[in-house]
């Protein structure tokens, strides 16, 4: 049966907010302001989800801390994309038992992608008694209700009662969840959730459910509000933003949405993450080129330069098709900044196939590359593919790729020296003499010397030096 887009009734979100009000009374009964610690792992989607968790917690009267020993409520929002991410989460969750011992009333919740996997929820149940509440991404909208269940059990002195909400689900769209954003200059704006691509190595479609788009009017309302509140850098988020709108009744695609958001009056930069090469269209590149506010940056994960590996990954494009897309995008935007993700050591990758990745990188000359060693994910098709290459061999390949990536980024950065670029100042570096951090429209990091009062403003920066990771410059008065 085809997937039907599900939405959560807005009344249900209001009920959750009413629960927040009730928990406010209970959490603040001793006259003290409760503190919450939301610890986020993984991608920008998770950052955006944590802003919703904080929104609910703020409605419960919580202030925020980064210190687990001070927190009354701890929420660990997890990632499952690679084993390393999971190991970090498990290590840190295990270590929370010290904080809980020092603060017996503390509530520890673990949510997000990692716990949506049955074996991980089970592991937390059996081996991590410090955890009181576990809920997957599909249950985030009813976090207040779940937290209340834990608190009710506490009041009944039923301390062994723990709450697990990780049922399998395709996911829904929930509007109206309060948000507490992290920054004041840059904002995330989720436009869709889930993924339907099932790349054979990837866990995301299993834990995040099917692709579902928010309605354009809901996105536009949020974008307008961000601009009114003074945000200057808006990133539209989705696992594959290019399939935006496919599940909606009205005929709207991602390029249309980009045009609508960039038509909002105000001075801001519009970005997006991530686009799958198979769905990146000429219409998208044309729209990016035509819309003044749209950053000329595209993150286009290639994953591999070998046709055989790309096929085994189920990526639905080959090397030639990828290179064609890049050429087309550059024809529309000669100043395009292009970044990518690459997996090294996919099961069965040969030395020759790895060299195809190197040669593709030389050919494209990415501005930045995010490189990963393949990590086996339970339940994905790649997990049962033969993988004769040793970890040590993969590490050697990874090091060679990193060296190439750094060399190319360094060369690309050097080409900016002497230029004057418009940048958005987004924060302080905490280091002298380049005390401010800023970003070019293409998303390159520029360290500047200047007055912190410039944070949140667009300025012209004269680039004087650079290295692999950043550009350095002076504010042009
Ligand atoms: N939806 C995005 C990527 C999400 S995950 C996209 O398709 O572009 C971010 C990156 O993690 C992926 O692009 C991929 O390079 C990497 N990744 C995903 N699963 C992985 C695995 N099992 N092992 C290693 N890297 C992986
Ligand atoms: Fe994972 Fe592929 Fe979906 Fe990206 S497009 S989230 S890599 S399955
Ligand atoms: Fe990780 Fe989930 Fe994002 S698995 S990369 S947090 S979608």
pLDDT band at 108 (very low <50, low <70, confident <90, very high): very high
At residue 299, does pLDDT exceed 70?
A: yes
Average the pLDDT over 299-328 and give the result: 98
Residue 53: its pLDDT value, please? 98
What's the gap in Å between 331 CA and the centre of ligand 2? 27
Mutate to test the pocket of ligand 2, among 137, 171, 197 (most ligand atoms within 8 A of CB): 197
Residue 3: its pLDDT value, please? 61
Spatial separation of the C-alpha atoms in residues 408 and 359, rounded to whole Å: 12
In the structure, how many helices (H) and strands (E) does the chain have? 13, 19
Mutate to test the pocket of ligand 2, among 204, 209, 275, 317 (most ligand atoms within 8 A of CB): 204
Mutate to test the pocket of ligand 2, among 200, 238, 242, 276 (most ligand atoms within 8 A of CB): 276
Spatial separation of the C-alpha atoms in residues 470 and 467, rounded to whole Å: 6
Where is pLDDT greater, at 163 or 4?
163
pLDDT single digits (tens) 379-420:
999 999 999 999 999 999 999 999 999 999 999 999 999 999
239 lines ligand 2 (CB under 6 A): yes
Average the pLDDT over 124-135 and give the result: 96
What's the gap in Å between 134 CA and the centre of ligand 2? 24
Mutate to test the pocket of ligand 1, among 79, 242, 301 (most ligand atoms within 8 A of CB): 301
Pocket of ligand 1 (CB under 6 A): 81-82, 201-202, 204, 239-240, 274, 276, 301, 303, 341, 343, 372, 374-375, 377
What's the gap in Å between 371 CA and the centre of ligand 1? 9
Average the pLDDT over 182-188 and give the result: 94
Angle between helices 351-364 and 319-332 (to 10 degrees): 10
Question: How far does Cα 71 stand from its chain's mean position?
Answer: 25
pLDDT band at 104 (very low <50, low <70, confident <90, very high): confident
Spatial separation of the C-alpha atoms in residues 245 and 268, rounded to whole Å: 24
One-character DSSP codes across 142-167: GHHHHHHHHHHHHHTT-TT--EEE--
What's the gap in Å between 114 CA and the centre of ligand 1? 15
Residue 101: its pLDDT value, please? 94
Ligand 2: nearest atom to the Cα of 81 = 1
Ligand 1: nearest atom to the Cα of 301 = 8
Token pair belonging to 365: 């000359």
For the chain, what percent of residues have pLDDT higher than 90? 95
Token pair belonging to 98: 């010290």
Residue 155: its pLDDT value, please? 86
Task: Answer for the pair 111, 165: CB distance below 8 angstroms, yes or no.
Answer: no
What's the gap in Å between 302 CA and the centre of ligand 1? 10
pLDDT band at 159 (very low <50, low <70, confident <90, very high): low
Pocket of ligand 3 (CB under 6 A): 42-43, 45-46, 79-81, 113, 203-204, 207-208
Ligand nearest, relative to CA of residue 369:
1
Average the pLDDT over 315-333 and give the result: 98
Residue 1: its pLDDT value, please? 45
**Atom 7 of ligand 3: nearest residue by CA position:** 204
**Atom 18 of ligand 1: nearest residue by CA position:** 202
pLDDT single digits (tens) 144-153:
999 999 999 9
What's the gap in Å between 182 CA and the centre of ligand 1? 24
Spatial separation of the C-alpha atoms in residues 247 and 316, rounded to whole Å: 20
Backbone angles phi, psi at 61, to 5 degrees: 95, 5
Angle between helices 44-59 and 10-27 (to 10 degrees): 60
Residue 26: its pLDDT value, please? 94
204 lines ligand 2 (CB under 6 A): yes
Ligand 3: nearest atom to the Cα of 203 = 4
**Atom 24 of ligand 1: nearest residue by CA position:** 374
Average pLDDT, the chain: 96
pLDDT single digits (tens) 216-232:
999 999 999 999 999 99
Spatial separation of the C-alpha atoms in residues 28 and 22, rounded to whole Å: 10
Average the pLDDT over 303-310 and give the result: 98
Residue 385: its pLDDT value, please? 98
Query: Nearest CA to 342 among 308, 304, 374, 316?
Result: 304
pLDDT single digits (tens) 261-295:
999 999 999 999 999 999 999 999 999 999 999 99
Residue 137: its pLDDT value, please? 97
């Amino acid at each position: 049966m085809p997937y039907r887009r599900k939405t959560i009734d807005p009344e249900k979100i209001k009920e959750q907010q009413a629960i927040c009000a009730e928990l406010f009374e209970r959490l603040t009964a001793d006259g003290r302001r409760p503190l919450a610690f939301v610890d986020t792992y993984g991608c920008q989607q998770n950052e955006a989800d944590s802003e919703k968790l904080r929104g609910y917690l703020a409605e419960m009267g919580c202030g925020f801390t980064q210190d687990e020993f001070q927190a009354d409520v701890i929420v660990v929002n997890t990632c499952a994309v690679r084993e390393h991410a999971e190991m970090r989460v498990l290590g840190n969750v295990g270590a929370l038992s010290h904080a809980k011992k020092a603060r017996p009333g503390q509530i520890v919740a673990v949510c997000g992608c990692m716990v949506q996997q049955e074996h991980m929820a089970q592991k937390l149940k059996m081996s991590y008694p410090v955890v009181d509440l576990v809920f997957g991404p599909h249950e985030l909208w009813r976090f207040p209700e779940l937290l209340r269940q834990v608190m009710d059990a506490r009041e009944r002195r039923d301390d062994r009662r723990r709450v697990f909400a990780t049922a399998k689900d395709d996911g829904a769209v929930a509007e109206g969840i309060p948000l507490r954003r992290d920054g004041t200059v840059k904002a995330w704006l989720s436009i869709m959730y889930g993924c339907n691509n099932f790349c054979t190595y990837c866990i995301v479609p299993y834990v995040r459910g099917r692709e579902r788009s928010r309605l354009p009017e809901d996105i536009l309302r949020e974008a307008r509000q961000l601009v009114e509140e003074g945000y200057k850098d808006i990133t539209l988020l989705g696992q594959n933003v290019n399939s935006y709108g496919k599940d909606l009744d009205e005929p709207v695609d991602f390029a249309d949405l980009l045009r609508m958001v960039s038509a909002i009056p105000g001075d801001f930069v519009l970005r997006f993450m991530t686009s799958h090469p198979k769905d990146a269209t000429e219409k998208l590149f044309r729209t990016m080129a035509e819309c003044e506010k749209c950053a000329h940056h595209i993150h286009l994960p290639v994953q591999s330069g070998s046709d055989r590996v790309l096929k085994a990954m189920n990526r639905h494009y080959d090397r030639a098709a990828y290179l064609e897309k890049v050429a087309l995008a550059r024809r529309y935007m000669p100043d395009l900044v292009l970044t990518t993700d690459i997996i090294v050591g996919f099961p069965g990758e040969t030395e020759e196939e790895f060299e195809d990745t190197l040669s593709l990188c030389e050919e494209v000359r990415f501005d930045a590359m995010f490189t990963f060693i393949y990590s086996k994910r339970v339940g994905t098709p790649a997990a049962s593919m033969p993988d004769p290459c040793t970890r040590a061999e993969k590490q050697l390949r990874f090091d060679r790729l990193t060296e190439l990536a750094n060399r190319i980024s360094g060369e690309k950065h050097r080409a900016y020296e002497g230029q004057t670029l418009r940048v958005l100042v987004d924060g302080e570096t905490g280091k002298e003499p380049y005390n401010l951090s800023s970003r070019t429209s293409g998303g390159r990091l520029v360290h500047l010397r200047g007055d912190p009062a410039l944070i949140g403003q667009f300025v012209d920066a004269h680039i004087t030096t650079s290295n692999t990771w950043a550009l350095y410059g002076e504010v042009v008065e």
